[in-house]
Amino acid sequence: MGEFSRRTGVSQRLLRYYEEQGLLAPVGRPSGYREYTEEDVVTVRGIRVLLAAGLSTATIAELLPCMVDDGKVLAPGCSGMLPDLARERERIDEAVAGLLAARARLDEIINAPVPVAPGGQDACYVG
């Protein structure tokens, strides 16, 4: 597992997690060691790309078997996946909108005039 971790740039702890989530299934050897293939390297790369795209491991478990990785880009293996990917994009859009609204509200608070507190401004200093 150590060598595979070095090859993929992913910690052993994360590799075990991917296995627990059913995302990675190395061949078990009689000695108890895991045997990883070049296909497993491609799988880990796909997992990392989809995680970076904001997908959950549960969603990745559903979609990854249908993805195609040519070594340069990860792409849907068929057009039937596009509605699932579009739904994930909509979910991310909603999360982004919520964060932007929260930031705008925080900006309002930051930019609000600060009244002078009784005892001076240092009276309410928390930091």
CATH (domain of 17) = 1.10.1660.10
The identity of residue 36, as a single letter, is: Y
Q: Tell whether 127 is covered by a domain.
A: no
Q: What is the DSSP letter of 37?
A: -
Number of domains in the chain: 1
Q: For each of the chain's 127 residues, which pLDDT tens digit applies?
A: 888 899 999 999 999 999 999 999 888 888 878 889 999 999 999 999 999 999 999 999 999 999 998 888 899 998 999 999 999 999 999 999 999 999 999 999 999 998 776 666 565 666 5
Domain that holds residue 51: 2-112
- How many residues are recorded in the chain? 127
Q: Tell whether 69 is covered by a domain.
A: yes
| Cβ atoms of 92 and 50 closer than 8 Å | no
Q: Which residues contact 35 (CB under 8 A, 6 or more apart)?
A: 26, 27, 28, 29
